[in-house]
Structure 1
């Protein structure tokens, strides 16, 4: 039986720097977020962490963060530039939604569950937060939860692969600053179907060394960094 990920669309990795984890990935399960809604069957969540084992996305102890919380801007991913994964046209761009300035992990998880259980189409923007949708032919990329005031593009604008679109934030239905990334077959997540996605070039840290990966689908908890300059296309393997 063919695997759903056998023929993904290959795009460029949308982040730079190292320490990114695919904490949600179709390599671990499909649908990656547990549901097919909003075109997110094959979506990724990329979180930046430090060298400690686990998912330490902010300085300090995990217990301290759980009990006292942490400032949004102190999280490693916050403010990281987000780059266009292919050359195309901006078909949606929302900025200005407020960002929660303090993260209490337990509260954030409860908030996410409540939002999912009570979702209605009229509340879509409160789920996505600040975001950009790009189009290349019949392919669309959604980049979600951007920090307010960081979008550098507008609807109708053409971008090249690698152009900066905005910065990682904590808006919408987010548990901490991270990038939610997905490919879709339509611009509107309410009607879109997810499209399987691989990344053209990145590196994975294994046993203290970085190994190059080509046309890969990041596994859960693989430590990633960007490799290459991007070539601008969106191609099937």
Structure 2
């Protein structure tokens, strides 16, 4: 059995959990590119909204990524390690919440997969964990925001980049996954857990403080260090 890798949450503030392995495995419905146990986090405000604005564009068109809470938020190293891969230069495209905008984008998913990892992951950073036993990737980062380079030693909590909407992404969020190989075309996903976080479970008013675990689908999380400082 593959050993679970425990990480720190790679951000500050509150984030909504989507495509959690706590709901299903493979978490994203496919077992490709090492994302078997991947998890998505979408930034939210104090009212747990992903965007404060809803207008006609929300219903029938695309929306600028800048109107979403997550866009531009700092993304932090979730573990100590060495930067093994960086990719920048992919545009942050328009966001999509409306069905008229989502349908054609979904139909283009196969084409993006044929284009390769960069078309799917967009701008991303991959960190080799100590002992090179696994690699953690942070995906869909903001174009031009990457602050690290290959070979750099990073520490947990160090700023790496900003949240963006590059690659195969319908609205700004960060996709986190751990895999057993740097080459995602052959990588297998590795189970992941997180430590020291506060979680608002869907349908419950009071949050829970968790020393370690995997956040549930549609729950909202934030690092405990924020509430204890």
**TM-score normalized with structure 2 length:** 0.88
CA 1:111–1:148: 2 relative to 1, 3 Å: farther
What is the alpha-carbon distance in structure 2 between the residues aligned to residue 223 and residue 110 of structure 1?
Answer: 27
8 Å contact from structure 1 (residues 105, 175) kept in 2: no
1:185 aligns with 2:180: yes
* Aligned-pair CA distance for 1:214: 1.4
What is the alpha-carbon distance in structure 2 between the residues aligned to residue 102 and residue 21 of structure 1?
Answer: 17
8 Å contact from structure 1 (residues 27, 219) kept in 2: yes
- Cα shift readout 1:67-95 (whole Å, capped 9, x = no counterpart): 24422111011011111111101111111
1:225 aligns with 2:218: no
Residue 118 (structure 1) aligns with:
111
CA 1:108–1:10: 2 relative to 1, 3 Å: farther
* Aligned-pair CA distance for 1:183: 0.5
1:209 aligns with 2:193: no
**TM-score normalized with structure 1 length:** 0.85
8 Å contact from structure 2 (residues 197, 209) kept in 1: yes
* Aligned-pair CA distance for 1:118: 3.2
What is the alpha-carbon distance in structure 2 between the residues aligned to residue 124 and residue 94 of structure 1?
Answer: 10
CA 1:158–1:108: 2 relative to 1, 3 Å: farther
What is the alpha-carbon distance in structure 2 between the residues aligned to residue 51 and residue 39 of structure 1?
Answer: 33
Ranges in structure 2 where 5+ consecutive residues have no aligned partner: none
What is the alpha-carbon distance in structure 1 between the residues aligned to residue 38 and residue 56 of structure 2?
Answer: 29
What is the alpha-carbon distance in structure 2 between the residues aligned to residue 194 and residue 112 of structure 1?
Answer: 25
Residue 67 (structure 1) aligns with:
60
CA RMSD of aligned residues (A): 2.3
Residue 196 (structure 1) aligns with:
191
Residue 85 (structure 2) aligns with:
92
1:149 aligns with 2:144: yes
What is the alpha-carbon distance in structure 2 between the residues aligned to residue 153 and residue 176 of structure 1?
Answer: 24
What is the alpha-carbon distance in structure 2 between the residues aligned to residue 160 and residue 96 of structure 1?
Answer: 24
State the aligned residue count: 222
8 Å contact from structure 2 (residues 77, 157) kept in 1: yes
Residue 132 (structure 1) aligns with:
125
CA 1:108–1:12: 2 relative to 1, 3 Å: farther
What is the alpha-carbon distance in structure 2 between the residues aligned to residue 107 and residue 171 of structure 1?
Answer: 20
- Pick aligned residue for 1:37 from 28, 32, 37: 32
